Structure 1
Amino acid sequence: MAISPTPDSRAILTQLREDNIRFVRVVWCDNGNIIRGKAIHLDALARQLDEGTCGVGLSAAQQAIPVVADAVAPGSGLGPVGEVWLVPDWDTLQRLPYAPGQARMLGEMVKDAQPWPWCSRQFLKRMVQRAAAQGLTVQAAFEPEFYLLRRGEEGFLPTDQTPFAATLAMDQHQKVVMAIADALAAQGIAVEQYYPESGPGQHEISVRYTQALAAADQQIVYRETVKAVAHQHGLVASFVPKLFDHQAGSGCHLHLSLWDGDRNLIPDGSGGLSAIAQAFAAGLLHHLPALMAITTPSPNSYRRLRPHCWSGAFCAWGMDNREVALRVPSNRGLPSPTHLELKTVDGAANPYLALGSAIAAGLDGIAQGYALPAPVQVDPGALSEADRRDRGIAPLPQSLTVALAALEQDDLLLEALGAPLAQTHLAVRRAELAAMAGMTLEAEVDLLCDRY
C-alpha cells in the first residue's frame, strides 16, 4: 500500500518541475460518489518530502457527506471531530491533459499511520486480497454511458435528437469525442469503442479491462476527464442514471472476469460457463438485492431500472440477454464467454465500493457453492407473473428504500465492508433518500447533474 513517499518520488518531483506542473491534486471518491480533491503546490510537496511525509489533512466527516448538501449525514458515526491523512498513491500519478500545470494522484485515507476503515479504495484492496487468498485475480472494466447537454433557460437540453449509433451524431460531436479519447489515452487508458447511445445526446466510450483496483481508478479518471473536456467545449457531461423521463437512462455496467495467472477461468471450453464462474455468478445473484444499495444507490437510479429498458430489472442471468441483471456476452469464437456483465450498476455508484462488493458477493458464491439457476433466454418482462414465479425469476428492488433494507440484512456484505464503512454508507444514502423524497425528476436532475 502506497501510504508514504516512494524511493522515486523525488525524481518524479524533478520531472514535474521540468513539465511546469505547479499543483498536484490528491483525489478521493466519497460515499455519495462525488469525486473530491485537494491540491498540493509543488513547492509544498517538496517540503513534505524533505520532512519524510506526503499528503493532505482531511476532516473525517468528509466521508459522511451526502450528495444533497455539505452536511454530515445523521447516524453516520462521523462528525466534526477527527482528522485523517489523505496520502497519494504515487503509482497513479498523471499529468492532466485538460488542466495544464496540474497533475493528479489518487489518495487513500490513513489515521495514526494505519489504513482508515472508512476508505473505499482500501476496501477494494481488501477484496482483491480476499480473492488472491483463493488463488484468483479479478479483472474488470466499467462501461459508463453519459449525456452531452447544453444549459438552457428551462434546464438541461440534449445536444442532438439522433437515434442509436447514428453517424450524424458522430459527426456532430466529433471534436469533443476526439478530445475525450485523446485525453483518456494521454492518461494511459486504452479506449476500445465509441458510439452514440440510444438517448438524444447520449454517448458511450468503452475502455479496456484491467486489474480490479486499476479498473476502479480508471473509472474515476474517466468521469473527471469526460466532464472536464465537455466543459471546455461549452457542454455539460452527466452520468446521472435518469435524466429524461421518456429517454434512455445511463448505466455503468460492470464487466468482470476471474483469472489464475494468465488463464481466464470464465469459459468451460465448449461455449458455456465454468463451474467456478457459475458459482461466482450465483453469488452475485444471491446478494444482488442488497448489492444494489451500493451499485444503484440513488433514488434516481430506480427511475432507470424498469422492464423493457435493457437495464436489468430482474434477478436472473442469460446468454446475450440484455433484459436480465447478469448478462453473459458471447464471443464470435472460442474462448467464449470470457466475462460476466452486471447491468445493475450506474453513475451514482462509488466504483471502489461497487466493484469490491461485487467481488465479495461472487466469492461468497464460490465459498458456499451456490447453484446457478437456469439461464433466462427470453425477456422476463414479457412473461406473466406466474411464469416468472415458476422459473424462479424475481423482480429486483424498485426503490432505494427496499435495497437499503436488503443491505442491512446481508451479513456477508456488511462484514466485507466492515462496520464503520457500512454504517456510514447506509447513513449517507438514507440522508439522500430523505432529502430527495417527493422530488420531481426535473428537481433531481437539477440537483445531480453536475455531481455525477
Structure 2
Amino acid sequence: MTKEEIFAIVEEEDVEFIRLQFTDIFGTLKNIAITARQLEDALENKILFDGSSVKGFAPIEDSDLYLHPDLSTFCIFPWRPQQGKVARFICNIHRADGSVFAADPRAVLLDAAKKAKDAGLNIFIEAECEFFLLNADDAGEVSLNVKEKASYFDIGPLDMSENIRRDIVLNLEDMGIKIKASHHEIAKAQHEIDFTDQDAIKCADAIQTFRMAVKTLAKRHGLSASFMPKLFDSENGSGMHFKISILNDDEENIIGKEGKLMPRAKSAIAGILSHARELSLINNPLVNSYKRLKPNFDAPVYVSWSSNSNRSALLRIPMERNNQMRMELRSPDSATNPYLCIAMLIYAIMDGIENTLELEDAINENMYSDKLYNIKKLPDTLSEAIEEFENSGFVKEKLGEHIFNEYLKAKKTEWNEFNNAITDWEIKKYLERY
C-alpha cells in the first residue's frame, strides 16, 4: 500500500488508534499506540521510543530509537469496536541517523532473507502453531485443571473449543493471514492452527500476529491461551513445526521430486543438522522447553533426519504435495522468537549449501524405541543449550554481537533463577520424607 492509500483507509474506516508494533530479542511483541492524527508523523518515521526500557535493546546513554512502519503490514484489528477502530503496523527499528538498529530481530531476518535471495534461494515456510486453551479458577487465576477430554482431531462436544478456533481463524483471515487448517491436538486443551506457505518475513510476522490474536480472542471467550511449551507431565508439549520449500530464481523446486532429493537439498539438510545443537537456545528458549524434547512426546530427541514420514526425527521429508518435496523441521517450540528462529534456519541452510556439507544416512525407524543410536542428541537442559550457544562462532556472527551477548546473559540468569527455585516437585517429594 502507498501512504495515500493508508490515509484514505484510515479516514473511510474511522480508524482512531494505530499501534506501532515491534518485537524484542526474546520474542515478546511490544507496541506504541498513537492516534490517527499522528499518522503522518508515523509514516515519516518520526515516532521514537526509549530503547533502554526494553530488555536487551539499548543502553541509557544511547537510547533514542525510531519506529519505521512497514506499510505492507497495515491492517485493522477485526475484534476491536467498529467505531473508533484500531489498526496496526509492524515496524522496523532504526537509530536517529537512519541506520538499522542491530538488535532488532526483524532486521536480522530481513538481512538473512536478502542474503538467501542474493544467493538464488527463495525460501517459503508453512508454520504449524500449537498452543493451549485453559480455564480460570474462581479467583481468576489460570488453572491447569482442564475439564475437556478431547484429543487429536476430536470434534465437539468432546472438543470444547471449536468455536474459539473458528473465531481465531476468521479474524486472522480478515487480517490477511491465509489459514490452511485448524484442529484439536493430541494433548488435552491443546490446539493447532496452520498457515499456508509464505516467505520468511511474512511467516514470522504472521506468527507474532497469530499469538496476539489467540491470546486476545481466548480472553474474550473467558479462557487463557498459553504458548508455554510443556504444561502437563504425561502429555505432549506445543511445537512450532516449519514445512520448508526452497525455490531457485526460476521458481523451480530445488529440494527434489518423485521422492528423490537433489544435491543442494541434501547439503541444506546437513547444514540444519550440523547447527541444530548450537541453535537449540533460539529454537527452544526456556527451561520448560527441554521438558518437551523427550521420547514419546511427538518431539525430536536426536539430531537426525528421515527420508519418509517418520515424525520422531528432527527433520523429515513429508509426503509430496503437487509433486513439490519439502522439508519439515520439528524441533522449534511455541515460545521461540520467530524472527531469530527463521533467520538462523536460513543461515544454516545457506551454510550447508555453500560448503557442500555431506549428509549422513537417513534414519527411518521409530527413534523413541529402546535402541540406542550413536549420533548426537539435542541438548537435554537449558544449561546444555547455553553452553552450545556460547561456544558457537557461527551463531555469534549471524546474530550479531549485541543480540548474542544480551540473549546469552538473559538465559544464564534464567537458568540460575531456576536452579535457585524450590519447585513443587521437591516439596512433594521431600518435605515429609526428610
Common fold: TM-score over 0.5: yes
Q: Which residue in 2 is equivalent to 1:149?
A: 134
13, 21, 25: which is aligned to 2:15? 21
- The 1-side partners of 2:181 and 2:362 are apart by 28
| Shift in alpha-carbon separation, 1:272–1:171, aligned structure 2, 3 A | same
Corresponding residue to 1:246 among 230, 234, 239: 234
Instruction: Tell me if the contact between 1:265 and 1:274 (Cα under 8 Å) persists in the aligned partners.
Output: yes
Distance 1:25 1:205, change over 3 A: same
Distance 1:97 1:170 in 2: 29
Structure 1 position 431 matched with structure 2 position 413? yes
Partner of 2:432: none
* Aligned-residue offset at 1:432: 2.3
2:106 to 105, 118, 121: 121
Equivalent residue number for residue 312 of structure 2? 323
Partner in structure 2 of residue 161 of structure 1:
149
CA contact (8 A) 1:58 1:86 kept: no
Equivalent residue number for residue 221 of structure 1 = 209
Gaps of 5+ in 2: 426-434
Q: Secondary structure of the equivalent of 1:373?
A: coil
Question: CA shift at 1:79, angstroms?
Answer: 4.8
- Which of 251, 263, 270 pairs up with 2:252? 263
Deviations 1:395-436 (A, max 9, x none): 210111111211122222211111112112212222222233
Identity of aligned residues (%): 27
Whether 1:30 and 2:24 are equivalent positions in the alignment is: yes
For 2:357 and 2:382, locate their aligned partners in 1 and report how far apart those are by CA, in whole Å.
26
Structure 2 CA distance for partners of 1:259 and 1:315, relative to 1, 3 Å: same
Deviation string, structure 1 residues 222-248 (Cα, Å, up to 9, x no partner): 111111111111111111101122222
8 Å contact from structure 1 (residues 279, 372) kept in 2: yes
1:131–1:363: 8 Å Cα contact kept in structure 2? yes
> Shift of the alpha carbon at 1:142?
2.0
8 Å Cα contact 1:61/1:80 also seen in 2:
no
- Residue pair 2:149, 2:159 contacting (<8 A) in 1 also: no
Higher normalized contact order (CA 8 Å, seq sep 6+, divided by chain length): 1
Q: How does 1:174-213 map to 2 (within 5 A)?
A: 174-213=162-201
- Of residues 405, 413, 416, the one that matches 2:387 is 405
Which one of 291, 294, 298 corresponds to residue 310 of structure 1?
Answer: 298
Amino acid at match of 2:119: Q
Name the residue aligned to 1:419. Answer: 401
| Structure 2 residue 28 is matched with structure 1 residue 44 | no
1:63–1:118 CA contact under 8 A, matched in 2: no
1:58 aligns with 2:50: yes
Q: Please tell me whether residue 93 in structure 1 is matched to residue 80 in structure 2.
A: no
Supply the distance in 1 between the matched residues of 2:422 and 2:235 (Cα, whole angstroms).
Answer: 16
For 2:47, the aligned partner's letter is: G
Separation in 2, partners of 1:155, 1:225: 18
Q: Per-residue deviation at 1:48?
A: 5.2
Residue 431 of structure 2: aligned partner? none
* CA positional deviation for 1:292: 0.7
Matched-pair contact (CA < 8 Å) for 1:243–1:249 = yes
State the number of aligned residues.
Answer: 416
3-state SS of the aligned residue for 1:249? coil
Which residue number corresponds to residue 429 of structure 2?
none
1:290–1:309 Cα change, 3 Å: same
Give the aligned residue type for 1:328.
I
1:11 CA displacement: 3.6
SS at match of 2:15: coil
Q: Which amino acid aligns with 2:339?
A: Y
Structure 2 CA distance for partners of 1:18 and 1:442, relative to 1, 3 Å: farther
1:59 and 1:80 in contact (8 A); partners too: no
CA distance in 1, matches of 2:280, 2:165: 31
Question: Under a length normalisation based on structure 2, what TM-score does the superposition of the two structures give?
Answer: 0.90
Which letter maps to 1:116? F
- Distance apart, 1:155 and its partner CA: 4.5
Q: Deviations over 1:289-331 (max 9, x none)?
A: 0111111011110011101211011100112111111122112
Find out whether 1:104 has 2:88 as its counterpart: yes
Change (3 A) 1:163 1:216: same
Q: 5+ unaligned residues in a row in structure 1: which ranges?
A: 1-5, 66-76, 444-452
* Residue-by-residue CA offset, 1:332-360 (whole Å, 9 max, x unaligned): 6x625x21111110121110000000110
C-alpha contact (below 8 Å) 1:58/1:85 kept by paired residues: no
Once structures 1 and 2 are overlaid, which stretch shifts more, 409-418 or 428-437?
Answer: 428-437
1:284 is matched with which residue? 272
Q: Secondary structure at the match of 1:85?
A: strand
Go from structure 1 to structure 2 and tell me whether the alpha carbon gap of 1:247 and 1:106 turns closer, same or farther (over 3 Å shift).
same
User: What amino acid is aligned across from residue 296 of structure 2 in structure 1?
Assistant: H
Q: TM-score, normalised by structure 1?
A: 0.87
The 3 A distance-change label for structure 1 pair 48 and 286 is closer
